[in-house]
């Protein structure tokens, strides 16, 4: 049986506002902040990890003009 990438769950940070690009940046910044604080990564290493492993999803569009973007990081990237 192949291991599932979501078996350990996800860390998700959501950003809301009127601009999708700004929200995407802020969602990733939230994941970077969490990685620095909780996983003791440097900001640079956290940024690299996000570029490789974070998925961005539009998570809310019904409250125009505010849109939601969520950044998902599978916790299975951590081996401990």
| 2 belongs to a structural domain | no
In angstroms, rounded to a whole number, what is the distance separating the alpha carbons of residues 69 and 62?
A: 12
Where residue 61 sits, what CATH number does that domain have?
3.10.28.20
The stretches of 1-80 forming alpha helices (DSSP H) are 20-39, 43-53
- Reported as a pLDDT band with limits 50, 70 and 90, residue 13 is very high
Q: What is the pLDDT of residues 18-52, one digit of tens each?
A: 999 999 999 999 999 999 999 999 999 999 999 99
Torsional class of 53: left (φ above 0), alpha (ψ -120 to 50), beta (otherwise): alpha
pLDDT at position 8 over 90: no
Output the pTM of the full model: 0.89
Boundaries of domain holding 41? 10-77
Domain membership of residue 37 (yes or no) is yes
Which structure tokens are listed for 20? 């999708």
CA distance 44 to 36: 9
């Amino acid at each position: 049986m192949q291991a599932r990438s979501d078996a350990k769950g996800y860390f998700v940070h959501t950003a809301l506002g009127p601009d999708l690009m700004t929200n995407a940046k802020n969602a990733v910044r939230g994941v970077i902040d969490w990685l620095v604080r909780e996983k003791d990564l440097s900001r640079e290493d956290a940024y690299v990890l996000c570029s490789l492993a974070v998925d961005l999803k539009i998570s809310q569009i019904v409250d125009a003009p505010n849109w939601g973007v969520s950044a998902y990081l599978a916790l299975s990237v951590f081996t401990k």
